Amino acid sequence: MIRVIISALLCFQLSTVIGQQLSLNEAIQQGLANRIELKAQDLNIQIASAENNKIKAKWLPQVSGNVDVRWNTQLQTTVLPFALPGTGASQTEIKLGRPFNNTLLLQADQKVYDANRKIDRQINNTQAEIQANTLEQIKVNIRQAITEAYYNCVFSKEKLNLSSLALQRATSYFEAGQAKFDQGTILKNDLDKLELEVSNARLAQTKNQQDYELSLIALQYQLNTTANVTPSEDLQTIFNYSQLIQNQSNIDKRTEIKAEEFSLRLNSLNVEKQKARNKPSISAYGNYSYFQLAETFNPFASGTWFPANYVGIRANIPIFDGRQANLAAQDFRIRQQINTYNIERFKNDFSYESKSTWNTLQQSRMNLEEAKKNIALAQRILDTDKFRFEKGVILISDLKNTEYSLQSAENQYLSSIYNFLIASVRYRKASGNL
């Protein structure tokens, strides 16, 4: 039996020593650095931030060149409504141009005024803020997932510690019972009960070992790492720096509310954008061209190239678009109202969630205090029963039951700390402080 205990403890020690030791804060930072969805969202932010560069590019001069080589296989005929002198016809037919008509053209356009420019930049800036807020929302969810996975690891580890101690106690009772059985002071049935307790304790320890290993795998998954990681803190240490006070509510900072506020702003800008569709836009343009008119195809023939150029300002003034802009603007106004309702609903929901999780946290704290009192009471009873056992007043089975009561109180205390920590992280998220 001693070998069983030693091998179990060695198995536990190996599982806890091998791997990188991380505090909760280190685990969160490593997870935030490794998670793929955060890297992908960073790229979305880059895309959104680059949209303003596209707007700037549209306001740079747009220059294009054109080369046109044309062979007029049949010249266009123009009819003049009079006859040339010396002819008896009532009209005159003439052919204009030359068989070969080549063109070199350079065209430049420059926007001067467009009411959409400022609005488009504001829309793009809002889109970038939306992507940044989405990134923060992902981070909040990841911090919660990593924190809860870390707490579960620590909880499973300490449960394994307690089960190891329980196995050790059960084994010592069995060995003491074996000695008493050999002396004829207890019955075989009593010894069988002690052996059953050892078997149950060993089974519990095996299950707790498996639970701990699964919790490490879950933590490894949350950190998105292939390296073995283990917690470096215990529940009591975490509990000592996890105390919360009431009135920490910052629900206005919840990323869900911010997302709806950004959507409200975006819809407001889209209303302005639709209104801007009915405003004029102004652009300047210029053209410089060379035309060649020749009887034969010879681009280098002298005296056949003729320049032409012009500059101008173009104004595009919308007059009537069938009320399309007004109808589209009305849609965005309705969406603004929906955003306003959603913000109000979110605030109500998160206020309730914050109060509810706070009450759960307070209940967990009271349960923890009661569990702490139970441990102290169970320890006093055990000390008394040990003294009574040494004096021969009670049987070993009575002492064993008292120690099991202490073990149950320890497990309950451990569960109470874990429940308190889980409640605290959920309260921090609900109140906008995670």
Q: What is the pLDDT of residues 379-429, one digit of tens each?
A: 899 889 888 877 778 877 787 888 888 888 988 988 998 999 999 899 989
Establish if 114 belongs to a structural domain: no
* Mean pLDDT in residue range 228-244: 84
* pTM: predicted TM-score of the whole model, two decimal places: 0.81
Give the pLDDT confidence score for residue 16 in this predicted structure.
Answer: 45
Tokens encoding 130: 């939306």
Give the pLDDT confidence score for residue 223 in this predicted structure.
Answer: 95
Establish if 367 belongs to a structural domain: yes
Give the pLDDT confidence score for residue 82 in this predicted structure.
Answer: 79
β-bridge mates for residue 294, sequence order: 100
* Mean pLDDT in residue range 205-213: 94
In this model, does residue 140 exceed pLDDT 70? Answer: yes
Give the pLDDT confidence score for residue 246 in this predicted structure.
Answer: 60
Q: Which residue has the tokens 């008292």?
A: 402
Classify residue 252 by its DSSP letter: G
Residue 213 CB contacts under 8 Å (≥ 6 apart), including other chains:
15
* Mean pLDDT in residue range 323-339: 93
Establish if 251 belongs to a structural domain: yes
* Euclidean distance between CA atoms 317 and 241, whole angstroms: 66
Total of domains in the chain: 1
- Average pLDDT, rounded, for the chain: 87
What are the angstrom distances between the C-alpha of 138 and each of 134, 144, 323? 6, 10, 41
In this model, does residue 126 exceed pLDDT 90? Answer: yes
Pairing of β 62-71 and β 100-113: antiparallel
Establish if 11 belongs to a structural domain: no
* Mean pLDDT in residue range 147-166: 92
In this model, does residue 9 exceed pLDDT 50? Answer: no
Position 251 confidence tier, pLDDT thresholds 50, 70, 90:
confident
* Mean pLDDT in residue range 129-142: 95
In this model, does residue 6 exceed pLDDT 70? Answer: no
* Euclidean distance between CA atoms 315 and 33, whole angstroms: 52
Give the pLDDT confidence score for residue 382 in this predicted structure.
Answer: 86
Query: How many other C-beta atoms can be found within 10 angstroms of the C-beta atom of residue 407?
Result: 19
Q: Report the first-to-last Cα separation within the chain, whole angstroms.
A: 48
Give the pLDDT confidence score for residue 47 in this predicted structure.
Answer: 92
Q: Which of 92-101, 175-184, 273-282 has the highest mean pLDDT?
A: 273-282
Element (H, E) at 261: helix 255-276
pLDDT tens digits for 48-81? Answer: 989 889 888 888 999 999 999 999 888 888 888 8
* Mean pLDDT in residue range 187-207: 89
Establish if 64 belongs to a structural domain: no
In this model, does residue 4 exceed pLDDT 60? Answer: no
Establish if 311 belongs to a structural domain: no
Establish if 363 belongs to a structural domain: yes
| Selection from 224, 222, 148 nearest residue 434 by Cα | 148
- The mean-pLDDT minimum among 242-246, 274-278, 327-331, 359-363 falls in 242-246
Establish if 17 belongs to a structural domain: no
Provide the residue range defining the domain that includes 423: 240-278+327-434
